[in-house]
Each structure stands twice: as structure tokens, then as C-alpha cells.
């Protein structure tokens, strides 16, 4: 959460202001006294008593719209389509696989661990392709 300063400048200065000046201004009030802005041709950009609060929340989700990759990642739910999903993985672009590399390897090695005799060759082909 950040409490940011709201600045005020004279209407006559709007056309003379360089936007990069705002980057140099303090973003929060200092303890004790409000900050003074830099002079702009005889005038100042003044901080007001108002502030506004920005609160952010960062979260990560793993989503793919790729049917072939999704089929592999959810292989336990559709074991009857395992061969089809493994062949489908070979059609998925490397860029998409890299986004889900850990999950893809986890799925492939789980399949290899549980179905080595039936799907071992296909898993191997997926890994080396």
C-alpha cells in the first residue's frame, strides 16, 4: 500500500511543464514537513494536503488454452486418452511448453513412473523432441 502525494501547479504552467519533472518529486510526505516542489520559471509545483492510496495485490495463475498441453497436464482425469495426449504434446510449440516446463516434466515423469510399459516409448519421444 502506498499513500501518494497529490501535486498542484498553476494553470499558466501546464504548457511549460516537462513531464519528467514529476519523476523527480517526492512521492510521499516526509515526517514533520510537506515537501516543496522544484521551481518552474519563478513558480513552484506545490504538494497539497490530499493523498491517494494505491493498494496492489499480485497473484499468479497458470492457465493455458492449448488443448494438447492441457490434456497432458490433466492426464490422470483422462487416462483413456493418454496416447492421444502424448502425441498431442509433440505438436505443441516449444514456447508454450516452456511456460509450463515444470508441470510438463512432472506429468511426463509421472506417466513414465505409472505406465512405463504402455507409454514409455511415447514419453521418451516427447522428452527428446
Q: What percent of the chain has pLDDT over 70?
A: 78
Query: Cell 499558466 sits at which residue?
Result: 12
pLDDT number for residue 72: 93
- Residue with more model confidence, 29 or 42: 29
Residues facing 4 on adjacent strands: 52
CB distance 49 to 79 below 8 Å: no
- Residue with more model confidence, 33 or 62: 62
When the pLDDT of each residue in the chain is averaged and rounded to a whole number, the result is: 81
CB distance 117 to 82 below 8 Å: no
pTM of the model: 0.52
pLDDT number for residue 39: 47
Distance CA 57, CA 110 (A): 34
- Produce one character per residue of 35-57: b if its CB has 16 or more CB atoms within 10 Å, e if not: eebeeeeeeebebeeeeeeeeee
- Residue with more model confidence, 83 or 28: 83
Distance CA 89, CA 119 (A): 13
Distance CA 72, CA 50 (A): 53
- Residue with more model confidence, 94 or 10: 94
Rg, C-alpha atoms of the chain = 29
In this prediction, residues 108-117 reach a mean pLDDT of 91
Amino acid at each position: 500500500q502506498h499513500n501518494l502525494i497529490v501535486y498542484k501547479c498553476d494553470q499558466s504552467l501546464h504548457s511549460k511543464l516537462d513531464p519528467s519533472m514529476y519523476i523527480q518529486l517526492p512521492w510521499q510526505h516526509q515526517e514533520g514537513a510537506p515537501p516543496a516542489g522544484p521551481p518552474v520559471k519563478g513558480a513552484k509545483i506545490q504538494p497539497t494536503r490530499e493523498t491517494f492510496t494505491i493498494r496492489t495485490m499480485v497473484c499468479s495463475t497458470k492457465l493455458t488454452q492449448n488443448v494438447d498441453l492441457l490434456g497432458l497436464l490433466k492426464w490422470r482425469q483422462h487416462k483413456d486418452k493418454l496416447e492421444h495426449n502424448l502425441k498431442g504434446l509433440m505438436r505443441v510449440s516449444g514456447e508454450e511448453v516452456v511456460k509450463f516446463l515444470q508441470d510438463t516434466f512432472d506429468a511426463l515423469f509421472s506417466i513414465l513412473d505409472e505406465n512405463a510399459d504402455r507409454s514409455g516409448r511415447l514419453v521418451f519421444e516427447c522428452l527428446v523432441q
